[in-house]
Structure 1
Amino acid sequence: MISKRALLHSAACAGISLLGVNVARAARADLVYPTRQVKWVVPYAAGGATDVLSRLICQHLTERLGQPFVVENKPGAGSNIGTQAVISSPPDGYTLLLTSTANAINASFDPSLPYDFAKGIAPVAGVARIPLVLVVSNDLPVHSVADFIAYAKANPGKLSVASSGIGTSLHLSGELFKAMAGVDFIHVPYRGSAPGLTDLMSGQIQGMFDNVTSSFELVRSGKIRALGVTTRERSEIMPDVPPISDTLPGYETASFYGVGAPHDTPPQILELLNKEINAALADPAIKARLGELGAIPIEGNAGQFGAMLVVETERWRKVVELSGHK
């Protein structure tokens, strides 16, 4: 026989136990993510590598996490409009930012920014690094980086070299090249790569620093000529094009892309997103597509991506100072 006191004690313990289970369940429920659509802000116009990379990852996240991850383009002011929009969003994991080289550059290129990127954005994960390439018009009588340097020295200030805009990695890669090679050429900024490549093909400008992603097909079809890639290793989609550093030791730049969230986003959400983004980068189909774009996956945890952002920001600060541009 169980005494009344023992029965009441057992019931009380059971009640406490059930209460603990319910509290744990409630705590877990508070951490369920996502429960609705997630906005993935791309601070550039639609089209190009940024959209392709974003849609590849978003499709994976949608399938794995059961809620739509939707790309929203917010172009303007060298990525600053989209970046500020994300920094100003609630830190709940429902607004993410495609971070890029522009964020590392703008930290020192534009001292009037109304936000502090390093403090306003929590690093989530890396996505990919894309080499740049120095391409020239077929009309220009040069076939190597050494030829280009010699021609520029023999014709100071007569070469026109394009980029996708002032303050971009393309522009500053050219400025770094000028400083290290001791040459001078005229920088011609365009609103994106496409119009610059069009004028390059027609011979209206003589050279351009561009992402391998957008130049690859034009080089392969013989419409323009590639002289050198900006990374220390050759690009998989341009294996015959040597690194510029073979001629200019120490020269190295690249465009990089990753994911950030507003500061104070819960660490459990950041960890989940990092895990799933890394799973996407390991997926054979996504790996193959990145390879077609000339992109090199950036894998690792959020801390490693954050450390990379610090290194890249310092790297580009030195380039900005060297260029003398603001």
Structure 2
Amino acid sequence: MFNRKLVLAAGLAVLTTSVAMTSAQAQTYPDQPIKLIIPLAPGGGTDVTGRTLGDAIAADWKATIVPENKTGGGTTIASATVARAPADGYTVYVNTASFIISARMMPNLSYDPQKDFVPVSLAASSDHVLIVSSKLPVKTFTEFVAWVKSRNGNATFASFGAGSSSHLGFELFLHRLGVKMTHVPYKGNAPAMTDLLGGHVDAMFADHVDESLKSENLRVLAIAGSKRSPELPDVPTLQELGLKDFTSRSFYGVMLRSGTPQPIIDKWNAGIRTALQKPEVQSKLRLLGIDPIGSTQGEYAEYLKAEDAKYREALALPSVEGSLK
């Protein structure tokens, strides 16, 4: 009985000490630079959202937040970097749909997406934009569909990564139309856009609105959202053009390593929501067609479950299975 009491007392002391240390860490956090891991190339919606948030939060906290673009592997390189990091809040992940899609595409990952990460907040999202090369003999959506049919699968579409939301969204789009195109994956929206501007690929779903959409080298045909973009008010939605209930979007969330003290998770959630309420942050994001959100931790967890179900269905399409081999 004495030994049992001694063990229980010792365990309680360790627990009390651990809680006290966690509380102390949260009070002084951050006291060193924070790495903000961005899984896609500079210039895309993920990069812009991550850097905009990082700058705003760094200013509020008087802290140093250093963005690092870790591209490749369908964002698995970035995910693995975060999974290997200590659970201390000094390595933060700006994740996208590819985080959950890659987990279904690659069963033998070096990390467990369910166990190694904790959702913090759904920061923002953006409707995809259907754009085509101006070298194509088309000026309208109807002409584009007819041209694609005439190419018998030889037309190409770019994405910002195999298994990305732009890839699977476009595959669902083609499935609804009953046509085929050849997929050409890139490591981010920006490099895909570069090749589209150069006429090396025929079409793509861009992940946000930016100045490049005004280039004479491409044409904007439709918005893949439920409503028109304020930045492109004359461009119809795919729903208006006949694809009932069709949407395709990119989302930008923030995650931390599982085991990170809850007070630090809470601080990040509050920091994100505060940053997204700043007029200058909202203005910068909305100018690019990115909608600020700033969800709670629980809301983001539920959102990820819903997105996982959607992409599980998309990955089962024969055209998608073939394009990923």
Instruction: Please indicate the TM-score interval, normalised by the length of the shorter structure.
Output: 0.7 to 0.9
1:61 touches 1:277 (CA, 8 Å); kept in 2? yes
1:26 CA displacement: 8.0
Residues 23 and 263, structure 2, Cα contact 8 Å, conserved in 1: no
Secondary structure class of the residue paired with 1:307: helix
The within-5 A match list for 1:6-85 is 28-32=23-27, 33-85=29-81
Q: Is the 8 A contact 2:41 2:190 kept in 1?
A: no
Cα distance, 1:93–1:199 mapped onto 2, change above 3 Å: closer
Give the distance between the partners of 1:27 and 1:125, measured in 2 at CA. 21
Q: Which deviations, in whole Å up to 9, do the C-alpha atoms of 1:120-164 show, x marking residues without a partner? A: 210111221022111112232333333322332343223222223
Q: Does 1:97 align with 2:93?
A: yes
What one-letter code is carried by the residue in structure 2 that aligns with 1:227?
A: L
Q: Secondary structure at the match of 1:308?
A: helix
Tell me the SS of whatever aligns to 2:193.
Answer: helix
Counterparts of 1:231 and 1:187, CA distance in 2? 22
Structural mapping, 1:183-194, within 5 Å: 183-194=179-190
- In structure 2, distance between residues paired with 1:186 and 1:62: 42
Kept in 2, the 8 Å contact 1:137–1:201? The answer is: yes
Residue 194 of structure 1 deviates from its aligned partner by: 4.0
Asked if the contact 2:42–2:190 (Cα under 8 Å) also holds between the matched residues in 1, the reply is: no
Between the aligned residues of both structures, percent identity stands at 35
Q: CA deviation at 1:25?
A: 9.1
Cα distance in 2 between the residues matched to 1:103 and 1:260 = 11
Letter in 2 for 1:84: A
Residue 263, structure 1, aligned to residue 225, structure 2: no
Q: 1:253 to 1:118 in 2, by over 3 A?
A: farther
Aligned counterparts, 1:136-285, within 5 A: 136-213=132-209, 216-246=210-240, 247-285=242-280
Inter-partner Cα distance in structure 2 for 1:35 and 1:201: 44
Q: CA distance change for structure 1 residues 26 and 85 in 2, over 3 Å: closer, same or farther? A: closer
Name the SS of the counterpart of 1:31 in structure 2. Answer: helix
The answer (yes or no) to whether the contact 1:107–1:313 under 8 Å persists in 2 is no
Alpha carbons of 1:177 and 1:36: their partners in 2 closer, same or farther (altered >3 Å)? same
Partners of 2:258 and 2:23 lie apart in 1 by: 22
Greater shift in the superposed pair: 157-166 or 175-184: 157-166
Structure 1, unaligned runs of 5 or more: 1-23
Aligned residue for 2:256, secondary structure, equals: strand
Distance apart, 1:28 and its partner CA: 4.9
Most deviating of 271-280 and 183-192:
183-192
The one-character-per-residue Cα deviations of 1:51-86 (angstroms, maximum 9, x if unpaired) are 322222122222222321221222221211111121
The change in CA–CA distance for 1:194 and 1:69 in structure 2 (over 3 A counts) is closer
Distance across 2 between alignment mates of 1:185 and 1:76: 23
Q: 2:292 and 2:170 mapped to 1: Cα distance? A: 24
Superposed CA RMSD: 2.2
SS at match of 1:236: coil
1: CA distance, partners of 2:104 / 2:245: 22
Residues of 1 paired with 2:24 and 2:184: CA distance? 54
- 2:243 aligned counterpart, secondary structure: coil
- 2: CA distance, partners of 1:27 / 1:199: 49
Query: In the alignment, which of 103, 106, 124 is matched to residue 107 of structure 1?
Result: 103
Shift of 1:277: 0.6
Cα distance in 2 for residues equivalent to 1:51 and 1:267: 26
For 1:187, what is the secondary structure of its paired residue? Answer: strand
**Structure 1 residue 30, shift from structure 2 partner:** 4.2
Query: TM-score, structure 1 length as denominator?
Result: 0.84
Cα deviation for residue 168 of structure 1 reads 1.9
Partner of 1:298: 293
Aligned residue number for residue 114 of structure 2: 118
Give the number of aligned pairs. Answer: 301
Structure 2 unpaired stretches of 5+: 1-18
